[in-house]
Amino acid sequence: MIRTLLILALAVRAAVCQTSDTEWGRVRAYFSAGVVFSQEDSRFSKEAPFVAFNLDKNWHSGRVACLNSFFETRLTSIPVNGQDALSPSSQKAAHAGAGFYAPLLTTRWDFGGQSHALFVAPLVLAGFDTPTAARADRFYKSWGAGTRLGHFRVPKETGSGPELVSWLDVVYGRFTSLDPHGGRLAVEGTLKAPGTPLIVGFSANIGRSGSARDDLRLFLGTRFDLGALVAKLRQLP
C-alpha cells in the first residue's frame, strides 16, 4: 500500500506542472501512471503499478466530424490463460498498440472559458502484449473493432488537435492471451476527475460460454499532457 501511495504522489506532483492551453499542433502526447487492481481469490486484492504513453494524432478536425489515430505503450498487468482455462492468471506485461477512430461531435458547450464536446466514433485497433517475467519470449496479439464514446476539450486555436479528456471503448475482437480461437468483448473506460489530473477507470474482458473466465480490472492514477509540461518547463527562469 505504501508503494501505491508513493506512485500516485509522484505522478500527481508531475501532473501539477501542466497548463491546459499548450499542445503540439495536431499531436497530443499523454503520460499516465497509477495502480491497477485485479481479482485474486474473488477479491480485488492484487495490485500492480502501470505507466503508459499515448500519442494521439488529429488528421482532420471539422465542426461535426474528425479523424484521429493513436499509438500507445504500457507497462501494466494483463490476464493470461493458464493451465486451468477457466482461471486466467494476472501477469505483468508490456503492451504496444495502435488504432484509428473517427469522432462525430454530438454535443458542444463552453465552460470555464474552454470549449467542450461529446462524441461517438467507430474504432479499430490492434496490439500485442508480452509478459515481462515468465515466458518473456511469448507475444499475445489482440485486434478488434467497435465504438468509442468520449469527451473532447476543443482548442480555440486553429491547427490544434482536440484533447481527449474521458472515454469509453466497446470493442469486439480476438485477445489471444485469454482465448486464441474465439471472439471476446472488451470494455474499457477512463474518467478524469474535474479540476484535477486524477483519473479512475476500469477494463472488462468478457468471453463466450466455456472460454476463459471473464476478467475485470480497476485502476486509479493520473494523466497529463506532455506538451503542456514541456511548455511549463520552458517558462522557468
Burial 170-196 (b: 16+ CB within 10 A, else e): bbebbbbbbbeeeebbbebbbebeeee
The pLDDT value given to residue 11: 47
H or E element, residue 13: helix 2-15
pLDDT of 14 reads 46
**Hey, where are the domains in the chain?**
2-234
CA–CA gap between residue 78 and residue 18 (Å, rounded): 30
Q: Do 155 and 163 contact (CB within 8 A), yes or no?
A: yes
**Does the predicted TM-score (pTM) go above 0.95?**
no
Instruction: Say if CB 186 and CB 212 are below 8 A apart.
Output: no
Which amino acid makes up residue 195? G
Residue with cell 501512471: 33
Task: Note down pLDDT in tens along the chain; length 237 residues.
Answer: 445 444 444 444 444 444 344 446 789 999 999 999 887 656 666 788 899 999 999 999 888 999 999 999 999 888 887 655 555 678 889 999 999 999 999 999 998 888 999 999 999 999 999 988 755 567 899 999 999 999 999 988 777 889 999 999 999 999 998 888 889 999 999 999 887 889 999 999 998 776 677 889 999 999 987 766 566 656 665
State residue 210's pLDDT score.
65
Q: How is residue 213 annotated by DSSP?
A: P
Cα–Cα dist 185/92, whole Å: 22
pLDDT of residue 2: 46
